[in-house]
Amino acid sequence: MRHIISLLMENESGALSRVAGLFSARGYNIESLTVAPTEDKTLSRMTIVTSGSDEVIEQIIKQLNKLIDVVKVLDLNDGRYLERELMLVKVKATGAWREEMKRMSDIFRGRIIDVADDTYTIELTGSGSKLDAFLEALDKAALLETVRTGASGIGRGDRILKV
């Protein structure tokens, strides 16, 4: 099953490679991994999307906790959570596509953030599956380039991950 794991770690050089290295060394899947400093500059927050059986996920959580730089780990799937990902999509905007792409962007609540003679760049946020759905719906012939940030996750309500 797909799991979203959130963790806080010391904002130190090498911390990211320890986490990434753990996943490759132990053969765990990584679908995506995002990391950035938090409001507390000494901490970074990472969101990892992974998949595996319950036993594998349990081991992943334990192994992450074992890393000395990792301060806290939360499996978001243990409760209610929100997931958002940002995607930028460059599409052809010539001929009939110019209207069509604008319409598609509106349907998915995207924003066109760059307009050129032959292309649009659309910004879209949502869960991973919403972004997938957008790409599915798009005329493949018009698709020029995509870039995704990977998912960020946060617990709902009073589920808070903080030191």
Partner 1 sequence: MELTGAEIVIRCLQEENVKFVFGYPGGAVLNIYDEIFKQDLFKHILVRHEQAAVHAADAYARATGQVGVALVTSGPGATNAVTGIATAYMDSIPLVVISGQVPTAAIGQDAFQECDMVGITRHCVKHNFLVKDVKDLACTLKKAFYIASSGRPGPVVVDIPKDVTALSTKFEYPKSVQLRSYNPVIKGHPGQIKKALKLLLEAKRPIIYAGGGVVLGNASDLLTRLVQKLGYPMTNTLMGLGGYPATDRLCLGMLGMHGTLEANMAMHEADVILAVGARFDDRVIGNPAHFFQNPRKIIHIDVDPSSISKRVKVDVPIVGDVKHVLAEMLALLDEMDKGPNAAALKVWWQKIDAWREKKCLNYKRDEKIIKPQYVIEKLWEVTQGDAFVTSDVGQHQMWAAQYYKFDKPRRWINSGGLGTMGVGLPYAMGVQLAYPKAQVACVTGEGSIQMNIQELSTCKQYHLPIKVILLNNRYLGMVRQWQEFFYGNRYSESYMDSLPDFVKLAEAYGHVGMRIERSSDVEGALKEAFAMKDRLVFMDFVTDQTENVFPMVPGGKGLSEMILAEDL
Judged by CB under 8 A, which stretch of 61-69, 92-100, 130-138, 153-161 contacts partner 1? 61-69
Element housing 34 (H / E): strand 32-37
Longest dimension (CA), the chain: 56
Nearer to partner 1, 10 or 123 (CB): 10
66 binds partner 1 (CB under 8 A): yes
Please count the residues of the chain.
163
160 binds partner 1 (CB under 8 A): no
Element housing 88 (H / E): strand 81-92
114 binds partner 1 (CB under 8 A): no
Which structure tokens are listed for 161? Answer: 């991950």
Interface with partner 1 in residues 5-44 (CB under 8 A): 9-10, 13-14, 17-18, 21, 25
- Facing residues of 7 across strands? 46, 73
**In the chain, helix, strand, coil percent, each to 5?**
30, 40, 30
Nearer to partner 1, 43 or 112 (CB): 43
Nearer to partner 1, 21 or 80 (CB): 21
Alpha-carbon gap, residue 35 to 51, rounded angstroms? 18
70 binds partner 1 (CB under 8 A): yes
Residues engaged in binding partner 1 (CB under 8 A): 9-10, 13-14, 17-18, 21, 25, 55, 58-59, 62-63, 65-66, 68-71, 163
